[in-house]
Amino acid sequence: MTVGSENGIEDRGVVGVLIVDDYDLFRTGLATLLAAEPGLAVVGQASNGRAGVRLARELSPDVVLMDLRMPDISGHEATEAIVAERPVTRVVVLTVLSDDEDVEAAVQAGACGYLAKDTPMDEVVSAVRAAAAGAAWLSPRAAEVVLGRVRRSEPGRAAQPDALEELSPRELEVLHLIARGMENTEIADALSISPRTAKNHVSSILSKLGLPSRVQAAIYAVRHGLD
């Protein structure tokens, strides 16, 4: 994306981010931290849902970080409006921990990511980059809800050969744990390996299965009976 000249930035390849949150201190602090990241530019901020929809229309950001609870329209409604008007804009929900209905509503509205506000900054940055690249990024809790829906809608699936034949026995173990919603450190503990080794296994699994993120890997595993 080329960030518009109205923001004073014209570098190609920069990911433009719009932050929508009614908590001023959180929003401005997040904007400052994101602006310091190479390849990211905060193109705008909005303190309510309607303003977020309007700025998304005017600024054409690559990624919108969206709070769910706002004083006018909800983050779900704002997300739905943004995605309907500009499908190429990716919306990542960044909010306080909430219930299953909030997670499902955000995903159904078109959000490609769902993170808690206490998520470490490096993971927020990774989520923004993943969203800009077209991948999904869900917190473990959100992934649990999404995978629960897959299990309920597609029960009794058995493992299929196809790409699974490309995975080593250890990679199959790791894929099974991904489907249970485990992060790399948890996988490392469960298998008595280092976090770096766990990360390498996850990367290899994504490459062999041709999947963009661990969320898709988890859904793949559930659909193939590996959960």
pLDDT at 10 over 60: no
Q: Fold match between 5-138 and 148-223? A: no
Contact 61, 35 (CB under 8 A): no
pLDDT at 3 over 50: no
The pLDDT tens digits for 104-128 are 777 778 888 888 888 889 889 988 9
pLDDT at 81 over 80: yes
Report the CATH number of the 148-223 domain. Answer: 1.10.10.10
Contact 111, 66 (CB under 8 A): yes
Residues with Cβ within 8 Å of residue 26, at least 6 apart in sequence: 117
The pLDDT tens digits for 192-212 are 999 899 989 988 998 888 876
Q: Confirm whether pTM is higher than 0.85.
A: no
Place of tokens 């219930």: 99
Domain boundaries, the chain: 5-138, 148-223
- The fold adopted by the segment(s) 5-138 is Rossmann fold (3.40.50)
**Confidence band, pLDDT 50/70/90 cuts, at residue 29:** very high
Averaged over 44-73, what is the pLDDT?
95
Ramachandran sector of residue 53 (left: φ over 0; alpha: ψ -120 to 50; beta: rest) = alpha
